[in-house]
Amino acid sequence: MFFICLFMHVGRGLYYGSYTFLETWNIGVILLFTVMATAFVGYVLPWGQMSFWGATVITNLLSAIPYIGTNLVEWIWGGFSVDKATLTRFFAFHFILPFIIAALAMVHLLFLH
């Protein structure tokens, strides 16, 4: 339901041309990606087969980034493969990201008004 409201908000912004206010729009896009990241790390936390392979596939996509991709993936994994260290890191990300989202939402509203 939350994502439906977010997508409706983005759609309204596109319809009314809110993307012309670049600062507000860019903070909103960063906010959207942060919310999606929080949902992803929350999806991994049950640590079933779907969660494990979801974490493996999505984090491996980051290895396509030139120069820093493989180092970034190893940092996120906490080693050379998805294991307990990855789960611990994802739990920490899942705890920290809502505070970052709240701060970004305040900045988004600050730029809006």
Closest listed residue to residue 40, CA positions, set 96, 90, 4: 90
pLDDT of residue 53: 97
pLDDT of residue 63: 95
Domain range enclosing 18? 2-112
In the predicted structure, residue 113 carries a pLDDT above the cut 90: no
- Name the helix (H) or strand (E) containing 99: helix 84-112
- What's the number of domains the chain is made of? 1
H-type helices in 2-68, by residue range?
2-15, 22-44, 49-61
Looking at residue 15, which CATH number applies to its domain? 1.20.810.10
Residue pLDDT, tens place only, 30-61:
999 999 999 999 999 999 999 999 999 999 99
Q: What's the gap between Cα 73 and its chain centre?
A: 15
pLDDT of residue 76: 95
pTM: 0.90
